[in-house]
Amino acid sequence: MLKVSKAHLLGSIEALAAVGAIEGGGNARLALTDEDKTGRDLVVGWMRALGLDVRIDAIGNVIGVRAGRENGAAIMTGSHIDTVRTGGRYDGNYGVLAGLEVVRALNEARIVTRRPIAVAFFTNEEGARFQPDMMGSLVYAGGLGLNEAYAAADKDGVSVGDELRRIGYLGSTAPGALRPQAFLELHIEQGPILDEEKVRIGVVESVQGISWTEYTVTGVSNHAGTTPMRLRRDAGYLAASVNVFARQLAREMGGNQVATVGAVNLRPNLINVVPNRAVFTVDLRNTDEAKLKDAEARVAAHIAEVAASERVGVEARSLARFEPVIFDAALVGRVEHHARALDLSTRRMPSGAGHDAQMMQRLCPTAMIFVPSVAGLSHNVKEHTEAADLVAGAQVLMNLMVELAEG
C-alpha cells in the first residue's frame, strides 16, 4: 500500500503557511491579493515539479492533471488556498497539499493509474473579500456566469476581473472544461464534534444550506444626551436587536440551525451620537431547506417589525444563497470503508461550513473527508489539527483515490 509521507505533507503545509503569515501562527491570504498570488505561485511550482499538466481557467481556478493509462475522466481532489483575514494554516490548504502528496507517492512508486488524477485549488472559496463565497467552484459548476463573477467587487470597489488580470491568473481555459469522474475533498472539520468525541475521521454526508444577507439601515443622527428614547430613529438599535433575535431563533429552532451576525458597521460610530446608518450581515445555515427558509422569513419579519417601530428604512442585499447538498451515497460509503480498513474510528456527519465540494456535486459524484479540529477552532490563528490526524486523513484520501483511479 502506498504510504503518506508525514515529512512531505507537514513540510508543505509549513511552507505555504509562511506566505501571508500573521502574528499567532495564522495566515492572511485574501483572494487575489499579492499574498494569494505568492501562495498560488508556490503551489503551481510544486505541481509542475511533480510533472502535472497545470491548467488555469478563466476564473483563476488551478488544476494540475496527472495522466493515466487511459484518457478518461479524471478522479479529482482539491480545495482552496485563500484564507480569511485571521485564518489558520489548515483550512483548505490541507486538502490541496494532501492531493499533491497522493501524486508524489504515485510518482515515487512509478505507478500510472488507469484514470487520470487531478488536484485543484479554487478561487475565492472563503468569500472574505468578494461575494459569493465558493466563487471559483460555483463558476466551474455552471452556477455563476463569468461576467457576474468578474464584476464582484471588494469594499474598495476593486473587481474580481481586474485582480485576476493584475496577479496573472486570468486563465484561458473554460471553467468546467475538465469534468471529473468523481471529486473528493479532504478538510479539517472546523467544528468541535470529532475532537470532543475523539473520532479520527468524519464521513461527511451533506453540507448545510447557507443564506448570507447584508442589511443597510437608515435612521437619523442625533445627540445621545438630549434626544428622548421615544423620539429616536436609531439605526444601531435595529442591528443590535437582530443580533439578539438571531441567537434566540437558533436556540428555539434547535437541531442544526445556526445564526450569526458577523459584521456590523455604524455611522458616525461615535459614543455620543445616535447612529444614522447601520450595515450588518446575517448568516443563517441549516441542513433542511424548509427550516432554512423559515429562519429567513422570521428574521425578515423581525427586521420589518423593529424598523416600523423605530421609523428607520431598511434595504436588504443577498450575498450568497445555497441550498443544502447531499453527497453521493456510494462514494460516502467508500470513505467510511477506507477509514475503517485503517482501523480509524468514524462518524457520519453533515458539514456546517460551505465547501467547494458542494458545488462539485452538481457535476459528478462527490464526497468529503473530515479530520478533527482541536477545540473546534477555525478561521482563527490558533486553528490546529494534530499531525497524526493530518496523516490519517491524507491516507484515507490516497487509498480511495487510487481505488477510484484504477476502477
In a domain, 1, yes or no: no
Task: Measure the N-to-C terminal CA separation of the chain; round to a whole number of Å.
Answer: 16
Does one domain contain both 258 and 382? no
State mean pLDDT over 235-242.
Answer: 98
In a domain, 31, yes or no: yes
Does one domain contain both 71 and 148? yes
CATH label of the domain that carries residue 29: 3.40.630.10
Does one domain contain both 230 and 308? yes
What is the widest separation between alpha-carbon atoms in the chain? 79
In a domain, 213, yes or no: no
Does one domain contain both 93 and 203? yes
Does one domain contain both 238 and 357? no
Inform me whether the pLDDT recorded for 180 exceeds 90. Answer: yes
CATH label of the domain that carries residue 301: 3.30.70.360
Q: Which domain, by its residues, includes 228? A: 218-322
Give the pLDDT confidence score for residue 157 in this predicted structure.
98
Give the pLDDT confidence score for residue 386 in this predicted structure.
98
Q: pTM of the prediction?
A: 0.90
Per the structure, the count of domains in the chain is 2
In a domain, 50, yes or no: yes
Question: What tens digit of pLDDT does each residue of 186-207 get?
Answer: 999 999 999 999 999 999 999 9
Does one domain contain both 334 and 366? yes
Question: What tens digit of pLDDT does each residue of 106-144 get?
Answer: 999 999 999 999 999 999 999 999 999 999 999 999 999
Does one domain contain both 10 and 158? yes
Does one domain contain both 195 and 291? no
Question: What tens digit of pLDDT does each residue of 36-91 get?
Answer: 999 999 999 999 999 999 999 999 999 999 999 999 999 999 999 999 999 999 99
Give the pLDDT confidence score for residue 1 in this predicted structure.
83
Inform me whether the pLDDT recorded for 382 exceeds 90. Answer: yes
